[in-house]
């Protein structure tokens, strides 16, 4: 029996070493755009920062608000913690972790939206566990639970195997965002995705039902910041206006907007671009990465207008 236990311990130890070795190798094979993205977000949790404004949400807000422009126009030091594919569930844990790493009291929290953010399942996410401090609640309360990625870091980044295989086959990697540089969490890129569907691409990600648990976590995030007496602004990032007209006809969008409006009224929170109709004329196609995300041309314009809006409200 003792021999069996000893062999089991040795096997687990070797498996642990192998997993960490392979995981370390995978880090070196991460595509350049995702490497820059992850490092720009991780940087926030590796430093104790003095910032005035923090941006939280998914890729829509991550691309939409430029921290450089905020600093130049309003002298506001900000950090964009928008994380690709994140949901309100993940954003709650991002918010919890972020508050631990700030030396000063924030003046403003920007909560970015996405018309399908309440439709998503409670997943711990592809990138969030790689970015924030470990939080057991992110795992326990997710639909994923204790999956293989909890025990094996290699499994957590299994998507990199596909990238390595394509690289081995000689298939040239085409980054989604051709990043020039990053500053306080915001990535500067000017490119546009070829063959973008400017009208119907939203339909491919549309989900049928609102997940009320996601709504609860959005509210929990608001309550978390209210406890710290931090002013909150909900920001609806721009969507290409022709596609927005298509989205606005959907019943799910009407439900989404109704929820946001109700939360805004209940908690006395301002909404910027409340009807998603701002910047219809100002933002041309060359301001977009695709129909739902801005590139740097667009983010500068949107952030400049947001700066003007900030000047009209009182900061705590």
The reported pLDDT for the residue numbered 18 is 67
Q: How many CB atoms lie within 10 A of CB 152?
A: 18
The reported pLDDT for the residue numbered 249 is 86
The reply to whether 158 falls in a domain is no
Q: Are 292 and 240 in contact (CB under 8 A)?
A: yes
Which residues have C-beta within 8 Å of that of residue 259, sequence separation ≥ 6? 118, 210, 215
The reply to whether 160 falls in a domain is no
| Half-sphere exposure at residue 303, Cβ-oriented, CA atoms within 13 angstroms | 28
The reported pLDDT for the residue numbered 207 is 46
What values do phi and psi take at 143, rounded to 5?
-70, -20
**Whole-angstrom Cα distance, residue 162 to residue 30?**
11
The reported pLDDT for the residue numbered 316 is 44
The reply to whether 226 falls in a domain is yes
The reply to whether 157 falls in a domain is no
**Whole-angstrom Cα distance, residue 273 to residue 233?**
11
What values do phi and psi take at 161, rounded to 5?
-60, -40
Domain span at residue 98 reads 31-144+171-310
The reply to whether 316 falls in a domain is no
The reply to whether 1 falls in a domain is no
The reply to whether 161 falls in a domain is no
Give the gyration radius of the chain's Cα atoms.
Answer: 21
Reading the block at residue 258, the tokens are 């109704």
Specify the CATH number for the domain of residue 284. 3.40.50.1110
pLDDT tens digit at each of 316 positions of the chain: 667 666 667 766 666 676 667 666 667 778 888 899 999 999 999 887 889 999 999 999 999 999 999 999 888 999 999 999 999 999 999 999 999 988 788 999 999 999 999 999 999 888 999 899 888 888 889 887 666 665 666 766 777 777 777 777 778 888 889 999 999 999 999 999 988 888 766 654 454 588 999 999 999 999 999 999 999 999 999 999 988 888 888 888 899 999 999 999 999 999 999 888 777 778 999 999 999 999 999 999 999 999 999 988 755 4
Q: Are 29 and 164 in contact (CB under 8 A)?
A: yes
Question: How many separate domains does the chain show?
Answer: 1
Q: How far is CA 93 from CA 175, 221, 249, 316, in A?
A: 28, 8, 32, 24
Q: Are 294 and 65 in contact (CB under 8 A)?
A: no
**Whole-angstrom Cα distance, residue 100 to residue 186?**
21
The reported pLDDT for the residue numbered 204 is 47
The reply to whether 289 falls in a domain is yes
Q: How far is CA 54 from CA 6, 8, 27, 51, 251, in A?
A: 50, 47, 27, 7, 31
């Amino acid at each position: 029996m003792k021999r069996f236990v000893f062999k089991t311990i040795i096997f687990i130890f070797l498996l642990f070493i192998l997993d960490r070795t392979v995981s370390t190798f995978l880090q070196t094979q991460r595509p350049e755009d995702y490497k820059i993205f992850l490092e720009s977000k991780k940087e926030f949790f590796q430093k104790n920062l003095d910032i005035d404004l923090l941006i939280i949400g998914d890729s829509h807000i991550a691309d939409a608000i430029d921290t450089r422009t905020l600093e130049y126009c309003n002298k506001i030091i900000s950090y964009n913690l928008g994380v690709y594919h994140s949901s309100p569930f993940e954003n709650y844990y991002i918010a919890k972790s972020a508050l631990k790493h700030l030396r000063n009291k924030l003046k403003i929290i920007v909560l970015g939206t996405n018309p399908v953010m309440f439709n998503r399942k409670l997943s711990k996410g592809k990138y969030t566990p790689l970015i924030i401090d470990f939080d057991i609640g992110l795992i326990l309360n997710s639909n994923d639970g204790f999956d293989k990625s909890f025990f094996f870091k290699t499994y957590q980044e299994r998507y990199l195997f596909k990238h390595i295989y394509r690289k081995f086959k000689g298939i040239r990697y085409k980054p989604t965002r051709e990043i020039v540089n990053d500053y306080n969490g915001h990535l500067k890129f000017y490119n546009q995705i070829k063959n973008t569907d400017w009208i119907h691409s939203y339909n491919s990600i549309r989900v049928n039902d609102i997940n009320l648990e996601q709504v609860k976590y959005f509210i929990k995030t608001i309550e978390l910041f209210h406890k710290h007496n931090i002013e909150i602004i909900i920001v609806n990032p721009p969507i290409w206006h022709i596609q927005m007209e298509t989205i606005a006809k959907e019943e799910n969008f009407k439900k989404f907007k109704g929820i946001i409006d109700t939360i805004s009224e209940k908690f006395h929170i301002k909404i910027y671009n409340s009807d998603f109709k701002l910047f219809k004329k100002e933002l041309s196609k060359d301001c977009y990465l695709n129909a739902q995300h801005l590139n740097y041309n667009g983010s500068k314009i949107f952030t400049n207008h947001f700066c003007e809006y900030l000047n009209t409200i009182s900061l705590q």
